[in-house]
Structure 1
Amino acid sequence: MLLREGGEDGEERIDTSPSLLSKLENALTGFTRKDNTPPEVRGWMKKKKTPDDVFKALKLDDELETVLDNEKLHLWVDFVNKFNKKNRGEREVTILGMLTKTYGDEALAKMLETAKQNPSTVWLATKLQNEQQIVWMLNGLSPDFVFKWFKLDKGTLEELLSNPALGVWYHFFHGLNQFNPDRDVTMITKFVDTYGDIPLAKAISAAMKDGDMQLVVSRLQEAQFQKWRLDGRDPGAITKLLLKDRMGWKNQGIFRAYNTFYEGANKVDDLDTSVAVASLRCS
């Protein structure tokens, strides 16, 4: 408790005597000095180990696919936090930097995309993927470069839609074009020009059955549907195109999906029009 003493002029002043301030300081530092650092981390710090030393000692350099789910990674992070704090002013050690140095940019990117499907690693994988792709952007990488870098321009359409690297490219493209409202149409046009409209629609529909690729592939399908609608193609026009295929009867799922999308988009447009008219009447 701070005591007040009366001064010569009758005013009260706060007691700032050295003894009281010392007691307060000791009381405060008592809370901050409580050290919950794991004993292993304290030992590594005492032995002046480096992040590389500890990463290898914990065998975190053995298996890329499971490293994010490895409980020892948390222990390494605790050590790195201490290490960075002690070595302020030097280049900071990060999880992304260590994983990139150990496993390589390309392999890490594919692993992070796959790890986003795992509930126990989705948060960390998404965070690291965002950080990695920001680095790519800062280094001037383009979507076309990344597409070729991951060899997405090689192989069949079916192989493309089953490749986890497609998800890497998709998120990079979206991040780089986040302020472009036409980004989805621009993206799908690239695929249509390369593979053809109906073959692409059929391959996307088939790839929707792959649980690991479903999220990205469903967004590609939505982008293609959006392009069809903007091009003035109603479900009837798409049905005619689908029936030209000799296995047209297998394409009913595409028609149903587009019909649902088309009707939903029209309802949104009608609602937007109604709101706009109502606003004009009120003004």
Structure 2
Amino acid sequence: TNERRGVNLDTIPGVTKLRGIIGSIVEKTQLQHWLSLRTSADDVFTKMKLTPVKGNLLANPKIKVWIKYVDELNKKKPKAERVSAASVLAFRYGDERVSTMLNAALQDQTTTIKLQSQRLEDWMRLGMQPYDVFHLLKFEKHDILLNPVFSFWLKYVDKFNVRYPMQGSTRMEELSLALGNRAMAKVLEAGRKDGRTKAISAKLESQLLMEWGAKGFTPDDVFGMLGLKNIAGGGTGPILSDPVLKFWVRYMNEFNTKHPGKRTTIFDTLKKNYGDMALVDMIVAAKKVPKTKAAAKSLEAQLLNKWLKDKKQPREVEHWAFFDKSGEMIGKYTTLFNAQIK
């Protein structure tokens, strides 16, 4: 043999390329043979020895050849007998593992999106609820808006509503159901800060605020829906730096514009939901953080003015200022109170 004679054919120019061409011809001939026999997609998968590479099926270079085979095979079958490549993978690995593999292969968007689209079509035929589909797709919450399949899920919701109008819900209702209101607000707020997702985030937020407004939700209702009423139990220091609060403020502003007779403020809402002692804690904590210091000072001024308006004696508000260990707020209030009664 060539090996015994010490000849390495791979060192001869053009041999490696020739082997690739020959291998491709043999592979194509074999596929044509299987196609003529109408060998099932599952059997060809086995014959091609397709296995995941480091857990990622799409890293196997033969997977695209197999997907093409499935497409060609389906062209020879009546529509009712067609089986998608995605359904074969789901049968072999289960929906959750397929989702994990596809999410790990997002750099190959053409193949990933093709398979995900097939899965969505299969699930639609089965009448699967958008909520269940969302979780089967195994989206990562922190980058859901960056996942190209997310837009396909939104379209799935739309198609589901057309096909099953009695069961349908809006995109935002389904997203809220899948993530929860607070997590959804976090996703949309984070999306505003990323140039790649700013447009879709703004569009979804606009739809959401419009729907909440149409349902008659007040800013106080939404404050509770977003989990802002019990963000940290009795101690509420971090709330002013909570990104969800910014999201809520935009709803409040929109509500105030549409309902001037029912206007509310950040201060009024915080005071109503937390009370004076917790509000002082919030202000003290926020004044120590540069990015919330200005907001904290504004709230402090409003709180002191409210006490003055209610004619509270300094000794009456001392217990509310329990969290102000420096005594600064009580000192300010005492000065303002004494100046008022002169």
Using structure 1 for the length normalisation, give the TM-score. Answer: 0.48
Higher RCO by CA contacts (8 Å cutoff, separation 6 or greater)? 1
